[in-house]
Structure 1
C-alpha cells in the first residue's frame, strides 16, 4: 500500500510540474543570452593555373573590293580605326608595296576641315552657330580664317572673317575619320561613292560635303541654314596609288571601277612655232 501511494504521489507531482513548466516561456531574454562566436577557419582553395599557348592571329577579313572589315571585338574600342591601321593595314601595305622599313608605310598625318562663310561679318549669330556645330562634329573648337588681301570686286577687305577651319591630329583625327566613313557617308542622300580622282598628285585627298546634318551630333530640329564643309586628308604617301590603297583599306567608299588618273598636260608652244607657220604660209 505504501508503494502504491508513493507512485500516485510521484505521478501527481510530475503532472503538476509539467503543467507548471508549460507556462514558462522557453525563449531566453536578451540580457541573459551568451554570444558564442564560431571559430573562424580559413578555407584553402587550390587554383590550378592552366597555360594556354597563344593562338596565331587570324588574317583580317576582307571583302571583294579589298577593304579590311572591322571585327566585332574592334568595334568596342575607343580608337578602333587607329588599332585597325596599326595591327592589320600596316602589314598589308608593307607586303604589297615591298617596304623594307615600317616607317616607309604611308599613314595619315592630319585632317583639315574647312567651312567657308561669305556673310560672316554681317551674321555674327550664324558664325557662332556654325562654330558650335563644327566643334560638335570634330570634337575640337575651330578657328576663324581671315582674308589675306583686299579684293574690291568681291567687296572684301583684308583681315575680315571669311570662314572657319580646324586641324585634327592624333586620336581626334582617327575618331573623326571613323565617323565620317561609317556614319557621314551612309547617311548622305543619293550617295554613290566618293570621287577617286580628287587626289592632288602628292598623296593628299579632298572631299566636299554639302550638308553637315548627316552627322548624328547635329540635331535636325535645331538646324538653321544648311552649310557644307571641305575635308582635306593629308597623308605621308609619295604617290596617289599608295594613298588610295591606304584610304581604301581604312574603309573609304570609292566609286567602283575608277582610280586616280594621271593628267597629261600639253606642252605650251612658244612664239617661234607660230612664226614658222606664218612664214610657211607666205
Structure 2
C-alpha cells in the first residue's frame, strides 16, 4: 500500500466495470488490433503566470519529473492587471512519447486516484486533467528549494492510419469512421488504465 493507504502504481486493482457499449469497442479492438487507439503523446504544462525564480523552480521540477528539458511558454498578450508583458515567459512544458509517456501517465492518474470526470475528455477522446500538488505523484519527496507546484497533463490519442493527414505526399482527411470519439476514448482509458470515469 502507498503512504496514503491506496494501492501503489504497480498493485493490481479491481477492474473498472464497462458498459455494454464500451464492451463493443473492446471486442472491435480484439477483432481488429489496427483499430485500437494508441497514446500518441502526453503533454505536461507548468503554468506559473510570471517569469523569475518561480518559473526557474518549475523548470527544474518539470525536468526532474519528466526526464526531459522543457520548453518555455510565452504570454500571447500583455495583461496589465497581472503585470504580464507580451512574449514574457510564464510557463514551461514538455511532450512525452513512447514508453516514457505511458509511464508518466500511469503516475499522473495514480496521483488523482485513478478517477476523472467525463468532462475532462474532448470530442476526440483526448484527456486533460490537472494535478494540484506534484507531491501526490508516487515516490516524490518535498524539496524546500522548489516548493509545491501543480501542473496540467494532456493525453492525445491516435489510431494506426492517422498519418495520412500529415504526410507530405497526397495527404488526406481521416475518414469519420476511423476517427476516435469521446465514448471510445473513455472506453480505452477504462480498459487500458483501469480509470474510473464519473
Q: Could you state the TM-score of these two structures normalised by the residue count of structure 1?
A: 0.50
**1:32 alignment counterpart:** none
In 1: Cα distance, 2:104 partner to 2:117 partner:
20
| Structure 2 CA distance for partners of 1:114 and 1:252, relative to 1, 3 Å | farther
Question: 1:142 Cα deviation (Å)?
Answer: 1.1
Bigger strand share: 2
Give unmatched runs, 5+ long, in structure 1: 1-60, 68-91, 187-191, 259-282
In 2: Cα distance, 1:221 partner to 1:164 partner:
19
Q: Secondary structure at the match of 1:197?
A: helix
Q: Secondary structure at the match of 1:128?
A: helix
1:116-131 correspondence runs (5 A): 116-120=47-51, 123-124=52-53, 126-131=54-59
Question: 1:102 Cα deviation (Å)?
Answer: 2.8
**1:227 alignment counterpart:** 149
Q: Secondary structure at the match of 1:171?
A: helix
The aligned length equals 163
**1:107 alignment counterpart:** 38
Is 1:65 matched up with 2:7?
A: no
Q: Could you state the TM-score of these two structures normalised by the residue count of structure 2?
A: 0.69
Give unmatched runs, 5+ long, in structure 2: 1-11, 159-178
In 1: Cα distance, 2:75 partner to 2:143 partner:
33
Q: CA RMSD in A?
A: 2.9
> What is the CA deviation profile of residues 59-102 of structure 1, one whole-angstrom value per residue up to 9, with x for unaligned ones?
xx9945248xxxxxxxxxxxxxxxxxxxxxxxx87652368643
The one of the two structures with greater contact order (alpha-carbon pairs below 8 A, sep at least 6) is 2
Residue 241 (structure 1) aligned to one of 177, 183, 186: 183
In 2: Cα distance, 1:169 partner to 1:224 partner:
26
**1:147 alignment counterpart:** 75
